[in-house]
A and B are shown apart, each in its own frame.
Chain A
Amino acid sequence: MKSFYYFLIVLVVGIFSCTDSRKMTYNESLSLPINSEFADFGFTVRGYFQSSKLTDALNIPSDARVEKFSIVGFSLLVEPQIGNEADWIRYALDFDCGEPVACRLLENQLRFVGGGEKFNLTSELNGKHLTRLRCQLEYMVSEGRLGQQCVSGDIEYQFQLKTFDAFSNPKKFVGKVTGFLNVQVSYSVCEDFPKGLFSDFVKCDD
């Protein structure tokens, strides 16, 4: 009996000691929340996409190699609350793309909010500028390996909201703006597996 167990142990140890390093790919999704409450005649919100914070939030391991970064969509919900006097809002979203004039993701659109409508702004995004933002973010999370044609560094963004009544007079807007920017990242890491397992995955060079 003993020799039987020794044989099995040797077999198992043998199998698992012969390993290959394979490039395994994982996806991570992240929803960057937008959540602000207002009671004003208009406002501007400024913020930054920061490299270290974005990489941490995406859970990208330190030894990983970013393969692809995508912007899945952008959602923005404007919800007027009790005390709101504004009927119309005009909004714009810009980010610093290294040009003299900031790149505008959302044009200055006028929306009726008197009825408390919810609306999704993904379809209003400027595709050219969204691609540019994606490229800058990709540069950021890949530590410069991808997106090298884009501007590097932290990205400042700015969201402006102006509020009016039906006669274009500034009016106090009471409500909240919520939403999120959804992104996905695909990264690869080299992991050791017994020879023959996951052989469809690319072998790591090391």
Chain B
Amino acid sequence: MKKWIFVGLFSWGLVLQAQTFDDLLQNYIGANKEAYLQPVVDLMTGSFNSGWNASGRLDSSFYLKFGVVGMAGYVTDNLKTFEGTTEFPFEPVTTRKVPTIVGDIDPVVVEGVNGTEYQFQGGRSLVLFPLAVPQLSVGGLLNSEISLRFFAYNFGGDFGRLQLFGISGKHDVGHYLGMENWFWNASYSFQAIEGGRYFDFTNHLISTEAGRSGTHWFYQASLGYQYGSLNAAYKEDPDDGGREITVKLKNNAPVFIGVGGGLKLGMLRLNLGINYAKVPFGEFGVHLHF
């Protein structure tokens, strides 16, 4: 039975569909698997780190904020190919520019000696990597704000439970300097996603943001350091021994920069922003502020 597996409450960016999840991951075994899958970590790290910072100056009185944060990584050419090398026993050893998982859909076929052939799998020709998550924030105490993201759903079957947990702490350091119209915040966020027995993804972001805030608007720029890591595990076919194969990947773009702005219209908070870490990421937020 085929199934849909979505990461994120309203996401269709990470759509994983396969006969079983093991089958899906088995398409990417071999020496080239890390490079083939690397864009997933880069896109997940940057996407999930989007949307935390867009709050402008922190209110000094207690408040609750709840809404949806949407983020999308734009898949640029630098994510679409890698230098793939043929594997033993194919001869001669050949290195070619081949698609990553987000690259061109056509496989690359290399001709070897005496009629042998080696096929590099095609990609999924992804243009955008969109995600959306619910986010709850509590602030106004000690010039700080804490935000939470949580989502869990049991898909059953061979996949099991998908769970996202994220927490972010933000502190207004600008108030120590007596800033009024301008603001300066420092923050740290952590997120963990568990995808059944198949993968876990952890993500850290240390960042600072500064900008100008008015009664009904704000704009800002941010600079951060991010660290995302993905551990995936799957089982080989029983015919091949049924061993558990693991893949460990880290994001390739630690510097995370962005600009954005937003509106405060009564209870409604709207924000838009663009970030960059190897590829551009867009973000938007719709929140109700109490």
Q: Give the interface of A toward B (CB within 8 A).
A: 1, 4, 8, 11-12, 15-16, 24-29, 31, 57, 59, 61, 68, 70-75, 120, 122-123, 125-128, 130-131, 134, 180, 182, 184, 186, 191, 193-194, 197-198, 200-201
Interface-lining segment among B40-48, B109-117, B216-224, B270-278: B109-117
Verify B89–A73 contact, CB threshold 8 A: yes
B17-72 with Cβ < 8 A to chain A:
17, 19, 23, 26-27, 29-30, 68
Q: Give the residues in chain B near A70, CB-CB below 8 Å.
A: 109, 116-119
CA of A127 to CA of B239, assembled, Å: 29
Verify B89–A125 contact, CB threshold 8 A: no
Verify A125–B12 contact, CB threshold 8 A: no
Verify B107–A25 contact, CB threshold 8 A: yes
Most B C-beta atoms less than 10 A away, residue of A15, A134, A198: A198
Verify B113–A122 contact, CB threshold 8 A: yes
B176 at the interface (CB under 8 A from A): no
Contact partner, A125, options B116, B118, B122, Cβ 8 Å: B116
Verify A72–B90 contact, CB threshold 8 A: yes
CA of A193 to CA of B239, assembled, Å: 31
CA of A140 to CA of B27, assembled, Å: 21
CA of A23 to CA of B69, assembled, Å: 32
Most A C-beta atoms less than 10 A away, residue of B118, B119, B125: B119
Verify B117–A72 contact, CB threshold 8 A: yes
Smallest CB–CB gap between B35 and chain A, Å?
Answer: 15
Smallest CB–CB gap between B106 and chain A, Å?
Answer: 9
* A196 to chain B: closest residue by CB: B12
Smallest CB–CB gap between A193 and chain B, Å?
Answer: 7
Q: Give the interface of B toward A (CB within 8 A).
A: 2, 4, 10, 12, 15, 17, 19, 23, 26-27, 29-30, 68, 87-91, 105, 107, 109, 112-119, 121-122, 124-125, 237, 239-240, 288
Verify B239–A57 contact, CB threshold 8 A: yes
Verify A73–B91 contact, CB threshold 8 A: yes
Contact partner, A27, options B2, B19, B27, Cβ 8 Å: B27
Contact partner, B113, options A16, A25, A125, A191, Cβ 8 Å: A125
CA of A193 to CA of B126, assembled, Å: 13
Smallest CB–CB gap between B203 and chain A, Å?
Answer: 24
Contact partner, A8, options B10, B27, B90, Cβ 8 Å: B10
Contact partner, A131, options B87, B91, B105, B115, Cβ 8 Å: B115
Verify A191–B117 contact, CB threshold 8 A: no
Contact partner, B89, options A27, A180, A201, Cβ 8 Å: A180
CA of A194 to CA of B17, assembled, Å: 12
Task: List 10 contacting pairs A-B, 8 Å CB cutoff, sorted by A.
Answer: A11-B10, A27-B121, A70-B117, A72-B117, A74-B89, A122-B89, A130-B114, A184-B118, A191-B2, A194-B12
Task: For the complex of A and B, list the 10 residue pairs with the smallest distance between their C-beta atoms, beginning with the closest.
Answer: A73-B89, A127-B114, A70-B117, A75-B89, A200-B125, A130-B115, A127-B115, A27-B121, A131-B115, A125-B114
CA of A53 to CA of B121, assembled, Å: 24
Verify B119–A123 contact, CB threshold 8 A: no
| With A29-B30, A180-B89, A194-B12 as contacts: A71 and B116 at CB distance below 8 Å | yes
Contact partner, B91, options A31, A120, A127, Cβ 8 Å: A120
CA of A28 to CA of B107, assembled, Å: 12
Verify B114–A184 contact, CB threshold 8 A: no
Q: Give the residues in chain B near A12, CB-CB below 8 Å.
A: 10
Q: Give the residues in chain B near A27, CB-CB below 8 Å.
A: 27, 107, 119, 121
| With A27-B27, A123-B91 as contacts: A201 and B115 at CB distance below 8 Å | no
| With A59-B237, A72-B89, A120-B89 as contacts: A128 and B118 at CB distance below 8 Å | no
Smallest CB–CB gap between A71 and chain B, Å?
Answer: 6
